[in-house]
Amino acid sequence: MSPAATTAGASAAAPRAAGSSFYAAMRILPPEQRDAMFEIYSFCRAVDDIADSSGPRPERVAQLQTWRHDVAALYDDASPPALAGLARAVKTFGMRREDFLAVIDGMEMDVVADIRAPSYATLELYCDRVACAVGRLSVKVFGLPEDLGLALADQLGRALQLTNILRDLDEDAELGRLYLPAEALRDAGISNTDPIKVLAEPRIEWACHAIVDRARAHFTKAEDIMARCPARAVRAPRLMGAVYKAILSRLVARGFGSPRAPVRIPKALLLWMLLRHAIA
């Protein structure tokens, strides 16, 4: 069975995303844009589930390859029935094939081997594939000008992904993964790359703060770009940025040493952010 057959599109994606910051951001979009974003979300969840599953690596690589064939079919007017909604969104908003393929390539980086203390260069490539490429698909839906849209996808995508990495340290370690870059660990005086052992190091604070600084710089650049965009076109990315910036601030306030309590945005604050950006 094709992996695409397990994806039911926007109607299935919305319940899965409910309660998340993504869901909150998408709710403020007009229906056609909202449905397209849920199609993108459904695609991303499907390939991410493959990357995070416990199945044999060759089998997961094959499943991702099948997705590459399904993406090719989208652009040849021969998509599987389960991807009919995504096919409509692709045509309506002119999303690019290479961005879907980049997302799959990023997931494959997690499948062929567990990522552990990558170089900064490898981390940048990973962020581009799993986050910025999603942003490049999304800005097509938002209707942003090409140059500003690509710049926003790059800066906001990196800010969100670096925040995810800092938020999910323990969850990733349970999967055998460690996305903190080797250079940041070395500068903090940590030579080990075993995820569990690294997370027990008191000096992990220093390594994490190097990533905090990068994330903050990307948030600042993203905000500068959004200030030059039509206000209504960036309501959803503004909300996503505000939510993730709040998560980053709470992570810093909590600290990165063990034990690390989960960080969440209270529903009241999320609702306030939603209302604020919905009327922008």
Domains, the chain, with CATH or none: 7-278 (1.10.600.10)
Q: What would the two tokens of residue 204 be?
A: 């992990």
Q: What is the mean pLDDT of the chain?
A: 91
Q: What is the pLDDT, as a whole number, of residue 279?
A: 58
Query: What confidence category does residue 268 fall into, taking pLDDT thresholds of 50, 70 and 90?
Result: confident
**Distance of alpha carbon 147 from its chain centroid, rounded?**
21
* Interval 153-173 mean pLDDT: 97
Angstrom distance (rounded) from CA 52 to CA 130: 13
* Interval 151-155 mean pLDDT: 98
pLDDT exceeds 60 at position 82: yes
* Interval 229-247 mean pLDDT: 93
Query: What confidence category does residue 273 fall into, taking pLDDT thresholds of 50, 70 and 90?
Result: confident
Query: What confidence category does residue 269 fall into, taking pLDDT thresholds of 50, 70 and 90?
Result: confident
pLDDT exceeds 50 at position 234: yes
pLDDT in tens, 12-59: 554 444 445 666 778 889 999 999 999 999 999 999 999 999 999 999
Angstrom distance (rounded) from CA 165 to CA 208: 9
Angstrom distance (rounded) from CA 51 to CA 255: 29
Q: How many beta carbons lie within 10 A of that of residue 168, not counting itself?
A: 15
pLDDT in tens, 174-212: 999 999 999 999 999 999 999 999 999 999 999 999 999
pLDDT exceeds 80 at position 275: no
Query: What confidence category does residue 277 fall into, taking pLDDT thresholds of 50, 70 and 90?
Result: low
Specify the residue for token string 């390539």: 105
